[in-house]
Structure 1
Amino acid sequence: MFGPPPPVPAVSLKDFDARKDDITNELVEAAETAGFFTLIDHGITIDEINAQFALSEQYFDLPHEVKGRIPHDIKTNNGWEYKSQIRQSTGTADQKESFWIRRDSEWPTDNEVSNFRDTTKRFMGKCEEISRKVLACFSVALGFPEDHLNEAMDVEAADNLTQMRLIHYMASENSLGTWRAGNHTDVGCLTLLFQRDGEDGLEICPGRESHNDHAIGDTFHPLPAVTGPIVVNIGDMLMAWSDDRLKANFHRVRAKDVGKSPDRYSIAYFNTGRKNVIMQGPLKKYPPITCGEYFLEKTETQFGGTFRRQPVNATARA
């Protein structure tokens, strides 16, 4: 079922230092309602975004046995996974493959994808800069010191859980609205999502009141894919950390009802609290818990705690 689209405002980061108060107000208003907003004037050029997507396509076009050289590790959550995420909401595997990366991850070689590591690390660095600005705004709005959330998500720390994920949804014929990614919320704090023109499918469902609320509404709204603006959404961890003030709402990626759904590529940067940091909201609505414990609890809720191990056909291509 679809209804009138909720407001998903575009927030400009232009002149950030001079406009910080106004930007904070815009971010908080969006986070308290839709739980989604887009960022413009954020400092990453269209050329840089397209270059990162080009590398992603090159990587996913590699044979399975090459991508499988860096298999997904359920302990670190890094590496390549193929149709291995089974959502509790659907009972079926998401129709996609992905490559999870941290700063200290193992990388494809230049022989596999030229300049992958250097270009991707620069891109991640820009995502870090943008995230720091947004998280500083939310820290102040919640009554914390300005650096509170950024220190909790310090990517230089040994226990950091922040990751980037390259995602490829495979093309499908006559999918009749099946789930390329089933209904879910994000487990971490803040997600930056990059999409490309024409590769639609993302749908959002506002209305969640508690980070423990598992009920999914029946009114989803498409959020068209556009190259340039960054789609940002609140995750469960930040919803709990804000005493449910900032909303982590359900979303999904849906195939077309009729005809062929083309390949869809997206890039997600997941800001997540460090494993050993203790999180608790300013109102202390919930008891203190480490970010690592919270992450595991929410992962178990969504996936039963693990990615399903599925044998890969070495001769297949995604």
Structure 2
Amino acid sequence: MVFDTMPVVPAVSLKDFDVRKEDITKELVEACEYTGFLTLVDHGITVEEINAQFELSKAYFSLPHDVKARIPHDVKTNNGWEYKSQLRPSTQMVDQKESLWLMRRSQWPSDEEVPGFRKTTSNFISKCENISDKVLSCLSLALGFPESYFRNAMDVTADDNLTQLRMLHYMASENAAGTWRAGPHTDIGCLTLLFQRDGEDGLEICPGRESQHSYGIGDSFFPLGAKTGPIVVNIGEMLMAWSDDRLKANFHRVRAKDVGFSPDRYSIAYFNTGRKSAVMQGPAKK
């Protein structure tokens, strides 16, 4: 499928999931096969809950650097706070952002630093787990696996679980020409849920099954506007491999404006990632 104009990113409703599961599965698979991106609506997380989580994120990133540095990024676990440290092979530049990586058993900001952070964020993560379970169960069945195939591979209760929540803050810039908020990349995990806020645009996607080469350079990227509520979903390299390349991990990036003022952008990503001990193979055993 070749896109000469801005592609339509399918919106898939999870309403009445148990009743509509077969139809939902068809819609998910079609989006994952051809566009590689979709949005989820009627997913069970309210706009109020999403806004509350973003307010906690903003409160955390507003802390002084020395306070955020109490949870330094650990390259072994990939958890903790990192600031302008992610070097993209696609651009050979450092992304102009900061982020906080969290897992169930990682170190968290205290209530003294951000009141209510752990309780609210833990509840938010639980809802992301529930949504992910629904999507992954559909994809497992569509690929001919048992319904729990992918769910077991990413069991969030297991000691070797690697699934993470990442809160991101792209700092405001008066003139960002020549820099990248996040250079072109694919996600290395299985399935990503991305939350955005109204008016905080910048995400660009490179959809289609033929789009992956040389970090997407030379391909067409299209803006995917930020909206509070819908969840942007994309396939990662791990699931692309486990589906024998049937489901597509496509490139995406975050751009600042080439000219003029680029405001702060906040986003929240939930990365479903296979457990360390999980051994998986696609149905065609590629």
Does TM-score exceed 0.5, indicating one fold?
A: yes
How far off is 1:176 after superposition? Answer: 2.9
Q: Structure 1: which 4+ aligned runs deviate by more than 4 Å?
A: 208-211
**How many angstroms apart in 1 are the aligned matches of 2:81 and 2:172?**
19
Deviations 1:128-175 (A, max 9, x none): 000000000000000100000000000000001100000000001122
**How many angstroms apart in 2 are the aligned matches of 1:43 and 1:215?**
34
Alpha-carbon contact 1:209-1:247 (below 8 Å) kept:
no
Corresponding residue of 1:87: 88
Corresponding residue of 1:13: 14
Alpha-carbon contact 2:33-2:209 (below 8 Å) kept:
no
Alpha-carbon contact 1:210-1:244 (below 8 Å) kept:
no
How far off is 1:3 after superposition? Answer: 4.8
**How many angstroms apart in 2 are the aligned matches of 1:72 and 1:120?**
19
How far off is 1:54 after superposition? Answer: 0.2
**How many angstroms apart in 2 are the aligned matches of 1:209 and 1:81?**
33
How far off is 1:24 after superposition? Answer: 0.2
Alpha-carbon contact 2:185-2:215 (below 8 Å) kept:
no
Change (3 A) 1:177 1:35: farther
Deviations 1:242-286 (A, max 9, x none): 00000000000000122101000000000001011001110011x
Corresponding residue of 2:120: 119
Corresponding residue of 2:264: 263
Alpha-carbon contact 1:3-1:221 (below 8 Å) kept:
no
2:72 aligned with 1:71: yes
2:206 aligned with 1:181: no
**How many angstroms apart in 2 are the aligned matches of 1:184 and 1:210?**
12
Corresponding residue of 1:132: 133
**How many angstroms apart in 1 are the aligned matches of 2:221 and 2:179?**
14
Alpha-carbon contact 2:211-2:251 (below 8 Å) kept:
no
Structure 2's unaligned 5+ residue stretches are none
**How many angstroms apart in 1 are the aligned matches of 2:249 and 2:4?**
19
Alpha-carbon contact 1:177-1:254 (below 8 Å) kept:
no
Structure 1's unaligned 5+ residue stretches are 286-318
The amino acid that maps onto 2:139 is: F
Q: Which moved more, 1:101-110 or 1:176-185?
A: 176-185
Corresponding residue of 2:253: 252
Q: Which moved more, 1:202-211 or 1:61-70?
A: 202-211
Deviations 1:167-201 (A, max 9, x none): 00000112237320000000000000000000000
TM-score w.r.t. structure 1 length? Answer: 0.87
Change (3 A) 1:53 1:19: same
How far off is 1:218 after superposition? Answer: 2.2
Alpha-carbon contact 1:84-1:94 (below 8 Å) kept:
yes
- Secondary structure at the residue paired with 1:231? strand
**How many angstroms apart in 1 are the aligned matches of 2:114 and 2:215?**
42
Identity of aligned residues (%): 74
The amino acid that maps onto 1:281 is: G
2:244 aligned with 1:240: no
* Two-structure CA RMSD over aligned residues (Å): 1.4
2:203 aligned with 1:206: no
TM-score w.r.t. structure 2 length? Answer: 0.96
Corresponding residue of 2:111: 110
How far off is 1:7 after superposition? Answer: 2.1
**How many angstroms apart in 2 are the aligned matches of 1:215 and 1:192?**
21
